[in-house]
Structure 1
Amino acid sequence: MYTFATATVTFLLQCVFFVNGKTVSGVFRSDLARETNGQYITKFFYQAGDGLMVYRLENVPVAIQKEAKLLMFNDVQGFDNLSCLDRLSHAQLSISLSAEQHNQTVPQQVYPQAWHILYVDRYTCQESDTQAAPSEDLNFQIILMNPDSAGNPLDHFSAEEAGLHSFYFLLILAYFIASCIYMQPLWQALYKGGPMHTVLKVLTIALLLQGVSVLFNYIHMASYARDGVGTPLMGSLAEFCDMVAQVQMLYMLLSLCMGWTLSRSKKTQTKPLQWDSSPKSTSLAIGAVVTQGILLIWEQFEDTEHHSFHWQRSVPGLLLMLFRVALAVLLASVLYYITSAERSALKRDFYLHFAKGCCLWFLCHPALVLFSGIFNEHQQEKVVAIGVILCQSIAVIVLYQLFLSRSLYWEVSSLSSVTLPFSMSRTQRGRF
């Protein structure tokens, strides 16, 4: 219940604060340009080849009266310390808005760079209201394109998004092949039940949500490749599914570790490694889920573009990474305590593999964010997004194999040692 509510609130906020992609539509406003020393429109990573910027404009006479322009910068560092006129003088390109449509070629560059677009007019740097700007706003559409494989500027994907479309397609193909191979044995394991039946159901739902998220991302990007806008609803649904999987896995992993610890302290060994949903473990898991949900919602206010895993340039993003590291440390310490007191070599091996799956799930995002620092700016988002999706999918598979291969053995061994009255002891076996 808490998991679904947290993810739903985050999803609704994403729909409200979503910013369109690289076909950008909106309104040029003189008052906003004056307040901010230039109305910021968008950012686009152009490839090394010839890129293209196309604008379409309504009410051209008003734009001419305002002396409206689009300024393009490939470096905006230190802008906050510059005056209005100094800021505008640093523009690499200046395009006058004097026609209904204009195609502007971006100069070739040695490596992919981010270009920022600002709107300005004759009233932007005015210090007084001696000459009021016309009240009419200007409706616009800006299309940003990179060269495709043939060298023609027809590719809507920026350099930081290039390749994600193919990655999602290959991942969908991998999910499909794996489902064809493992669907029947997995269904049999779920139907049969067992000591870890609930865990297997949660893992199945988490993996299903990850697959649906990948499918929605692929649909969004397939549409984005055609028009530069995509299907925003699909992008939001992809993030929604991913966040539900995140908080669900967090709740399960914390509940398991805390439950095992409490059951060990109570010396209840009749049902080894069961999911013990005690009030303490449940409250701790719910508190962690709520904390993660708050950080995820806060993060959407800071970064509204569609990325399931952000590069974490914001304060809530950094807090979210620290939170995941803290969870990994907590789970590792709990599992170390359990393992050190466990006499069974089989169970110690189980806890060790379980710890590896937990650490991979929680630490892959912070580790990849740090690792991405060695790459160029346009590669960092892709390294984080692709790496986290793959690592967390591997973590789910590791946990799957662990519980499927061990739970049945412990169920049988527990029955033979505790429940069955005619089990052979070691001394009895020695007589034969």
Structure 2
Amino acid sequence: MKMIFPLTVTMLMFYLCFFPVTFGKTIHGVFSSDAARKGSGQYITKFLFHGGNALMVYRLEDVSTAMKKDARLLLFQDLEKFDNLSCQHRLSRARLSMTLSAEEHNQTIPHTAASPRAWYVLYADRYTCHQDKIAEDLKDLRFQIMLFNPNAEGDPLDHFSAEEAGLHGFYLIFLVAYVATACIYARLLWRALHKGGPMHTALKVLSAALLLQAGSALFSYIHLARYARDGIGAPFMGTLAEFCNMVSQVHMVFMLLSLCMGWTLSSRKTQSKPLQWDTSPTSTALALGSVAIQMCLQGALLVWEQFEDTDHHSYHAHGSTAGLLLVALRVVLALLLTSILYRIVRAERSGLKRDYYLSFAKGCLLWFLCHPVLVLLSAAFNEHHRQKVTTIGVILCQSISVVVLYRLFLCRSLYWEVSSPSSVTLPLTMSRDRRCPY
């Protein structure tokens, strides 16, 4: 815990100073002819429209300049298929073109498929495919674009893309369930933490991770609640949600790797001083180095992902290169934990202890593998379901993992068989409680 706190503060300051905020689907910015020339069309945003009443509204400040530049908005589907085409051919493949000739214009989006599909919005003008140097000054155009899907009544008032619809309600249900569970078990957990015992530090780290996960859900809900009204939301809250999730992941990695590399679990270690590193310099260096490297890698990949993917609204989406590398890192961690726990279980003769280690392994592997597995499974779903399947699945699986670990750490009867301290130092007195499976 002493190592985690200063690292958390440092990460927070870096995150708030350098991370771009999460942008919503009411978009403010400038149309730039230079940016359009460099990219064969200036990329604005992506949105999954659904239904027959989907709508896009643009507002423009300098209409006269836009008309002189022959400015227009182009809407594409399957934009990546046209990357290898020439500029003129690429722009000609647009499914929909809107000339920017008014201060405000409402454009109904045609319903082209049974399931929602992504539409990409690009800006272009007469200079976009111009190869020679342009002598005149190309003035930028300030704009506002609002994107709407039909709501339950069929009116175009819903700012959420089809891939994000329903997440707002899920976070509300999750928070209500979290508060209800906290009201029931908070007193029991507080007594366990106050009493101390062999798993005291592990319980503190696990509780911190759980509180950060709840904080992440709360900040996400606040962001999405405002986003539902104005399409912008509370970007700072969205950033805090992603930061809390990142620190929660670091807490869990710190605890799980530490337990597997010399803390508490192995019966060959001394149990009189729980959660202390083994006295061997080699094992100490290996454990500390593994935790530090993993934390640095995960933090670096999460930072990289934020700068690479500016369209995401969920920190579980991970559709970018950095996100995929982050998923791969969790697979490596799961394999590392599996190999360590396998050696411990194989050398253990007591069936009760083996059951304890196996239950611990299930909790660990569920935390690390749920994300990679759900990313793979989401590929079988339609595009507008993938983000929701991954986001909801990861939150639920990691919550189940925390419950599994809590039950192990708080269950006196089994831990009595695994560890050697007297019953006075154990977290709880549950040996006669039938709710404890051991």
Q: TM-score, normalised by structure 1?
A: 0.90
Q: Which structure 2 residues correspond to residues 271-282 of structure 1 after superposition, within 5 A?
A: 271=272, 274-278=274-278, 279-280=284-285, 281-282=287-288
| Inter-CA distance 352–379: structure 2 relative to 1 (3 Å threshold) | same
> Cα deviation per residue 1:4-62 (whole Å; 9 max; x = unaligned)?
156436623663x3352110100011111112111111110001332000000001111
Aligned residue in 1 for 2:8: 4
1:76 aligns to 2:79 (yes or no): yes
1:53–1:145 CA contact under 8 A, matched in 2: yes
Separation in 2 of the partners of 1:395 and 1:412? Answer: 21
2:198–2:271 CA contact under 8 A, matched in 1: no
Q: Which structure 2 residues correspond to residues 50-65 of structure 1 after superposition, within 5 A?
A: 50-65=53-68
* Equivalent position SS for 1:374: coil
> Cα deviation per residue 1:251-276 (whole Å; 9 max; x = unaligned)?
11000110149965xx444539x323
> Cα deviation per residue 1:340-375 (whole Å; 9 max; x = unaligned)?
222333221111100000000000000000000100
1:45 aligns to 2:48 (yes or no): yes
Percent identity, please. Answer: 59
Aligned residue in 2 for 1:123: 127
Separation in 2 of the partners of 1:215 and 1:235? Answer: 10
Out of 262, 272, 295, the position equivalent to 1:289 is 295
* Equivalent position SS for 1:229: coil
Query: Which protein is richer in helix relative to its size?
Result: 1
Query: Can you give the 5+ residue segments of structure 2 that lack an aligned partner in the other structure?
Result: 279-283, 426-438
> Cα deviation per residue 1:158-182 (whole Å; 9 max; x = unaligned)?
0010000000000011001101111
Separation in 1 of the partners of 2:69 and 2:419? Answer: 83
Aligned residue in 2 for 1:426: none
Q: CA deviation at 1:313?
A: 3.1
Separation in 2 of the partners of 1:356 and 1:263? Answer: 17
One-letter code aligned to 2:333: L
Q: Which structure 2 residues correspond to residues 265-414 of structure 1 after superposition, within 5 A?
A: 267-271=268-272, 274-278=274-278, 279-280=284-285, 281-406=287-412, 409-410=415-416, 414=420
Separation in 2 of the partners of 1:346 and 1:228? Answer: 54
| Inter-CA distance 13–404: structure 2 relative to 1 (3 Å threshold) | same
Aligned residue in 2 for 1:198: 201
Q: CA deviation at 1:88?
A: 1.3
Aligned residue in 2 for 1:103: 106
1:307–1:385 CA contact under 8 A, matched in 2: no
2:27–2:145 CA contact under 8 A, matched in 1: yes
Comparing 154-163 with 303-312, which one deviates more in the overlay? 303-312
Separation in 2 of the partners of 1:6 and 1:368? Answer: 31
- CA-based RMSD: 2.4
> Cα deviation per residue 1:314-361 (whole Å; 9 max; x = unaligned)?
332222222111111111111111112223332211111000000000
| Inter-CA distance 126–333: structure 2 relative to 1 (3 Å threshold) | same
One-letter code aligned to 2:277: S
Separation in 2 of the partners of 1:330 and 1:83? Answer: 48
Separation in 1 of the partners of 2:246 and 2:421? Answer: 39
1:235–1:306 CA contact under 8 A, matched in 2: no
1:156–1:227 CA contact under 8 A, matched in 2: yes
Aligned residue in 2 for 1:156: 159
* Equivalent position SS for 2:80: coil
Separation in 2 of the partners of 1:216 and 1:312? Answer: 19
| Inter-CA distance 382–315: structure 2 relative to 1 (3 Å threshold) | same
| Inter-CA distance 329–137: structure 2 relative to 1 (3 Å threshold) | same
Q: TM-score, normalised by structure 2?
A: 0.89
Aligned residue in 1 for 2:434: none
| Inter-CA distance 169–415: structure 2 relative to 1 (3 Å threshold) | closer
Aligned residue in 2 for 1:222: 225
One-letter code aligned to 2:90: R
* Equivalent position SS for 2:121: strand
| Inter-CA distance 13–305: structure 2 relative to 1 (3 Å threshold) | farther
Comparing 397-406 with 298-307, which one deviates more in the overlay? 298-307
2:21–2:236 CA contact under 8 A, matched in 1: no
Q: Which structure 2 residues correspond to residues 205-244 of structure 1 after superposition, within 5 A?
A: 205-244=208-247
One-letter code aligned to 2:272: K
2:76–2:119 CA contact under 8 A, matched in 1: yes
1:168–1:217 CA contact under 8 A, matched in 2: yes
Comparing 313-322 with 300-309, which one deviates more in the overlay? 300-309
| Inter-CA distance 307–153: structure 2 relative to 1 (3 Å threshold) | closer
> Cα deviation per residue 1:266-317 (whole Å; 9 max; x = unaligned)?
x444539x32334332332222212222222222222234545443333322
User: Aligned pair count?
Assistant: 414
Q: CA deviation at 1:412?
A: 11
